[in-house]
Structure 1
Amino acid sequence: MANSPIEPRFFESIDGARLAWRELGEGRPVVLIHGYFSDATTNWLKYGHAEEIAAAGFRVIMPDLRGHGASAKPHDAASYPPDVLMEDGKALVAHLGLSDYDLAGYSLGGRTVMRMLVNGATPRRVAVSGMGLDGIVHTQGRGAYFHNVLTNLGSFKQGTSEWLTEAFLKTTKGDPLALLRVLDTFVDTPAEALSTIRPPVLVVNGVDDHDNGSGEALAAALPDGRYASIPGNHMSAVMKPELGSTIADFLAA
């Protein structure tokens, strides 16, 4: 793991929102996008994934999504139009002047990566984790689950999935109002649009992660998709060293 905290840097996205990113390592750029309720530090730094990827020769670039982490968390609906997370991702790539780079994401970060791909992003290689086909083509299914959690905080029985999700929200000090708005940004990607994605894509999921549908089905829907499994479910796979090493090995191949 990184020995000391990495301070965020900031840029202004397309609407002037002040968004944060962190960097680790030197070499070929790879942008890693975290999941919903999380942030770059929790998703990529805490369990050593960014360090593993950096050690493979990469400049690891880790944004905090709008509404998360050190990035702006406005509460007004106008700040969360459909696909704004995709636009933010493309804005960061443009801000950093990246033309030859790789792209990876976990959960909502994986969905954001897929939205970037079908909207003109041209990375060399792509890794998507914690995401299945259902979570790409039918975003509101999972969105409804999170809407229920965020609008009924404090009401869930200990040990339930909803209780665990709320507990994770507390650990990341998430802003419930901003995170509710983030749900408005979700956009479905039609299966036919997936057939237009050209870069090789690795889908790597926890063997017990079924939260967003089938990772194997997502890989099969892509022209150059492949699938790998690692230990864990949706919440625990991100803690496993295999996540970072599998992504690093794929990107470095």
Structure 2
Amino acid sequence: MPTFASFDGLQLSYTVWEGRGRPVLLQHGFAADTNANWIAPGVVDTLQDAGLTVISLDARGHGRSAKPHDEASYGDDAMVRDVSALLDSLGLDEVSMVGYSMGAMIALGAVAADPRIRCLAIGGVGSGIVDFGGVDTRVVTPEAISEALLASDPSTLPPSSAPFRALADALRADRIALAAVARGTANPKLDLTAIAVPTLILAGDTDPLAAEPERLAAAIAGARLVRVPGDHMAAVMHPAFGSALTGFLTSHDL
């Protein structure tokens, strides 16, 4: 997988699948990576079958990208700035962007900051974005996620934070880096009124972190909402997710 130096010199990993039309940039969720969020669930295959060029970025602290252990490396919209740095590195004038969960928050920040993002699709988020600007703290807090990642005995974790630890362990992720991510990105600054591109919101019908997605859709001008079967982990794997995503992206590939 190729790498590039981001705005602060950190080496980040990305993958490109060549196709046609406007490239689609994928940004995965917390503790996941390109494979877990996009390849294994079949999303990359679905987009490739539609002939699209696909690019996936492993966020800092994740996958094959560098994994600093200090939370300052993740503050000040670092992951949003990474997106623009990747577009600079690849010399791209325009992309569509897709983000899931943490990746959705990154994508929301990126589309407001970078005019090269012409189309947006997000999943795994709902009214928590409207009410808290990020993770729905009625379900789980960034502090609880960080504590779960660093706990010596994961069997004692509450149901709200245990899945994050389980995913990190399953992927053999750097849990210290992920705990720093959780702390460093706890208070994103998202201005939904600054989003002026075609937007699709995909929400699992039993996903507690995507509760009341209609409120998020109402807060973004012209946004379209599609509910798909599944909870936070399963929704992205359902064929309805890939089908709705591909239909939206191809219809706005102008």
TM-score by length of 2: 0.89
C-alpha distance in 2 between matches for 1:175 and 1:26 = 33
- Alpha-carbon shift at residue 202 of structure 1 (Å): 0.3
Task: Give the TM-score, by structure 1 length.
Answer: 0.89
**Using the alignment, how far apart are the partners of 1:77 and 1:149 within structure 2?**
16
Quote how far apart the aligned CAs of 1:212 are.
4.5
Question: Structure 1 residue 153: deviation in Å?
Answer: 4.6
Could you say what secondary structure the match of 2:65 adopts?
Answer: coil
Query: What does residue 72 of structure 1 align with?
Result: 66
Secondary structure of the residue that 1:72 maps to in structure 2?
A: coil
Of residues 125, 135, 138 in structure 1, which corresponds to 2:133? 138
Find the counterpart in structure 1 of residue 240 from structure 2: 242
Q: Which 5+ residue runs of structure 2 have no aligned equivalent?
A: none
Question: Which residue of the partner structure matches residue 3 of structure 1?
Answer: none
Name the CA shift for 1:214/1:144 in 2 (closer, same or farther; >3 Å). farther
Letter in 1 for 2:249: L
State the Cα distance separating 1:169 from its structure 2 match.
1.1
Unmatched tracts of structure 1, length 5 or more: 1-7
Distance in 2 between the 1:11 and 1:58 partners? 22
Shift of 1:162: 3.1
Corresponding residue SS for 2:194: coil
Question: Is 1:226 equivalent to 2:224 in the alignment?
Answer: yes
Choose which of 50, 53, 56 in structure 2 pairs with 1:56. Answer: 50
Contact 2:206-2:232 at 8 Å conserved across structures: yes
Give the distance between the partners of 1:122 and 1:100, measured in 2 at CA. 4
- The residue type paired with residue 17 of structure 1 is L
Q: CA RMSD in A?
A: 1.9
Count of aligned positions: 244
Task: Give the corresponding residue for 1:154.
Answer: 153
- Aligned residue for 1:195, secondary structure, equals helix
Does structure 1 retain, via aligned residues, the 8 Å contact 2:149–2:164? Answer: no
Q: 1:22 aligns with which of 15, 18, 22?
A: 15
User: Is 1:10 aligned to 2:6, yes or no?
Assistant: no
Conservation of the 8 A alpha-carbon contact between 2:146 and 2:178? no
Q: Is the 1:135–1:212 contact (alpha carbons within 8 Å) kept by the matching residues of 2?
A: no
SS of alignment partner, residue 31 of structure 2: coil
CA-to-aligned-CA distance 1:6-65 (integer Å, 9 cap, x gap): xx1100000110000012231120100000000011100012101101221211000100
